[in-house]
Structure 1
Amino acid sequence: MDLESVADELYALPPGEFTAARGRHVAAARTAKDPALAREIAALRRPTLAAWAGNLLVRSAPEQVDALRRLGEWLRAAQEGLAGEELRELTRKRNVLVAQLAREAQRLAAEAGHPVGDAVRNEVETTLHAVLADADAAREWATGHLAKPLTPRPGFPATTATSAAGPAARPARKRHLKVVEDPGEARAAELARARREARDAEREAREQDKALRRDASRRDAAEARLAEATARVADLADRLRAAEEAETEARDALARARRALTAATRTARQSRRAAEKAAERLDAVAAEQD
Structure 2
Amino acid sequence: MNMDVESVAAELYAVRPSEFTSARDAYVAKARKAGDRELAAAIAALRKPTVAVWTAGLLARGRPEEARQLLLLGEALRTAHRTLDAGQLRKLSHDQHVVIGRLARAARSLAAESDQTVSEPVLSEVERILHAVLADPEVAERWAGGRLVRSPDPASGFTGLEPQPGAAPPRRKESAPPEPAGPAARRAPAPGTGGGAEQARRQRIEAAREELAEARAEADRLSTEEAAAQELADGAEAAVRSAVARLEEARAASAAAAAGLRTAGQAAAKARKRADAAARKAEKLAGSEA
* Distance in 1 separating the partners of 2:49 and 2:206: 44
The residue type equivalent to 1:40 in the other structure is: A
* Distance in 1 separating the partners of 2:208 and 2:92: 22
* Distance in 2 separating the partners of 1:36 and 1:99: 42
Matched residue count:
172
Residue aligning to 1:87? 89
* Distance in 2 separating the partners of 1:10 and 1:173: 45
Among 169, 173, 192, the alignment partner of 2:210 is: 173
Q: In the alignment, is residue 57 of structure 1 matched against residue 59 of structure 2? A: yes
Q: Offset at 1:150?
A: 2.3
Give the alignment of 1:176-191 within 5 angstroms: none
Runs of 4+ in 1 over 6 A off after TM superposition: none
TM-score normalised per structure 1: 0.54
Residue aligning to 2:256? none
Give the alignment of 1:272-287 within 5 angstroms: none
CA contact 1:131–1:152 (8 Å) conserved in 2: no
* Distance in 1 separating the partners of 2:95 and 2:9: 32
Residue aligning to 2:251? none
Q: In the alignment, is residue 100 of structure 1 matched against residue 72 of structure 2? A: no
> Residues 85 and 152 (structure 1 numbering): CA distance in 2 closer, same or farther, change over 3 Å?
farther
* Distance in 1 separating the partners of 2:13 and 2:91: 35
* Distance in 2 separating the partners of 1:171 and 1:155: 14
Paired-residue identity, %: 46
Q: Offset at 1:58?
A: 1.1
CA contact 2:84–2:208 (8 Å) conserved in 1: no
Higher helix fraction (1 or 2): 1
Residue aligning to 1:3? 5
* Distance in 2 separating the partners of 1:133 and 1:144: 18
5+ residue gaps, structure 1, are 158-163, 181-290
What is the RMSD computed on CA atoms of the aligned residues? Answer: 2.8
* Distance in 2 separating the partners of 1:67 and 1:149: 21
SS at match of 2:35: coil
* Distance in 2 separating the partners of 1:167 and 1:38: 57
Q: Offset at 1:144?
A: 1.8
The residue type equivalent to 2:19 in the other structure is: E
TM-score normalised per structure 2: 0.54
Larger relative contact order (C-alpha < 8 A, sep ≥ 6)?
A: 2
Q: Offset at 1:153?
A: 4.2
